[in-house]
Amino acid sequence: MTHPHPARPGAMTHAMNATRLPTAPKVLRIGVMQGTRISEERIVRDRSAVTVGATERNTFTVPSGELPPSFELFSIETDRYSLNFTDAMEGQLATPGGIRTLAQVRRDPSAQRTSFGHRVALDESARGKIRLGAVTFLFQFVAAPPAMPRPQLPAALRSHWVKNVDWTYNSCFSAFLVLAVASVAYVEYAYDPIVDDALALDDARLVRLLATPPPVAEPEPARRSPPPRPPRPPTPAPPRPHRPRPAAPLPAPPIGPAPAPPTRPAASPTPTPPPTARSTR
């Protein structure tokens, strides 16, 4: 049984080395917690400095009166991140050497004293949380996730624009446009109608007709009406004289012999009743 030489890698080692992908440096992942919920989370892919403050130009905008308008929380030095913290900040820092509070980190000789507080270098295995008032910053180093691809349109919409042209519609529209332009050009430049001189107006006469305004009728002065007269008292009417009515005219006498007057029948004698005897006592 033969054993491979210990200084020479075997075939399996060559295969593992061939499939091993080159490791890229980890990126910083930061989350901002206000109260009990995370309000913002961001991954710094370009390994740039991270600033916090009240202005909108910072990486994270936090309302805090204990910070200047812009404070560099994570800075880059020799392609490594460094944590900057002030004396008012509290929190914890986890490193391969263990978990320490910021108060213990301040007493560590590796922490560098600065004008605003302290600065400590971080490796890619460090993680921690920094608390300033009601705002807490959580950070850790993670492998850079794959970049999201840019949104693209479907293949049907990304086809060449020539394939989507409606040639029938565009041909009809072009022919109509050429015909319209040619008609306007013919009427404007080539068409010269014959105008009768008797009906034509020269320019001077036309200008006089257009420039002479029509006469304006002057309003007649308003006549003053006489003042109203006071009402006259009623005058009694004179009594009318009594005139007798004229008598009716008598009928004319008839012509010819007068008619005989009518005769009345003779009255019969009234019988005298006999005397009645009266008794005497």
- pLDDT band (50, 70, 90) for residue 20: low
Neighbours of 60 (CB within 10 A): 17
- pLDDT band (50, 70, 90) for residue 261: low
**pLDDT at residue 25 is higher than 70:** yes
Does residue 153 lie in a domain region?
no
The pLDDT, as a whole number, for residue 270 is 56
Residue 35, token pair as written in the block: 């109260």
Q: Mean pLDDT in the chain? A: 78
* Same structural domain, 135 and 177: no
Q: Judge if pTM exceeds 0.75.
A: no
Does residue 217 lie in a domain region?
no
In the chain, pLDDT over 70 holds for what percent of residues? 67
Mean pLDDT is highest, among 55-64, 218-227, 248-257, for: 55-64
81 or 191: which leads in pLDDT: 81
Does residue 262 lie in a domain region?
no
**pLDDT at residue 15 is higher than 70:** no
Does residue 10 lie in a domain region?
no
The pLDDT, as a whole number, for residue 265 is 58
Rounded CA-CA distance 130/123 in Å is: 17
Residue 130, token pair as written in the block: 């920094």
The pLDDT, as a whole number, for residue 223 is 72
Last residue of a domain, one of 142, 174, 201: 142
The pLDDT, as a whole number, for residue 279 is 47
pLDDT digits (tens, 9 = 90+) for 242-258: 666 666 666 666 665 65
Does residue 35 lie in a domain region?
yes
- Cβ contacts of residue 116 below 8 Å, gap of 6+? 71, 84, 86
Q: What is the CATH classification number for the domain harbouring 105?
A: 2.60.200.20
**pLDDT at residue 138 is higher than 90:** yes
**pLDDT at residue 1 is higher than 60:** no
Cβ(32)–Cβ(62) under 8 Å? yes
Q: 106: closest CA among 124, 78, 86? A: 86
The pLDDT, as a whole number, for residue 136 is 92
Rounded CA-CA distance 68/58 in Å is: 11
The pLDDT, as a whole number, for residue 227 is 73
* Same structural domain, 48 and 127: yes
**pLDDT at residue 6 is higher than 90:** no
* Same structural domain, 76 and 174: no
Task: Decide: residue 50, CB within 10 A, 0-12 exposed, 13-18 middle, 19+ buried.
Answer: buried
- pLDDT band (50, 70, 90) for residue 10: low
Mean pLDDT is highest, among 85-99, 139-153, 218-232, 266-280, for: 85-99
Domain count, the chain: 2
* Same structural domain, 96 and 165: no
Q: Where are the beta strands (DSSP E) in the chain?
A: 27-34, 37-44, 50-53, 60-61, 71-77, 80-85, 90-95, 98-101, 112-113, 118-121, 127-132, 135-142
- Cβ contacts of residue 72 below 8 Å, gap of 6+? 49, 50, 51, 84
What range does the domain containing 77 cover?
27-142
* Same structural domain, 171 and 104: no
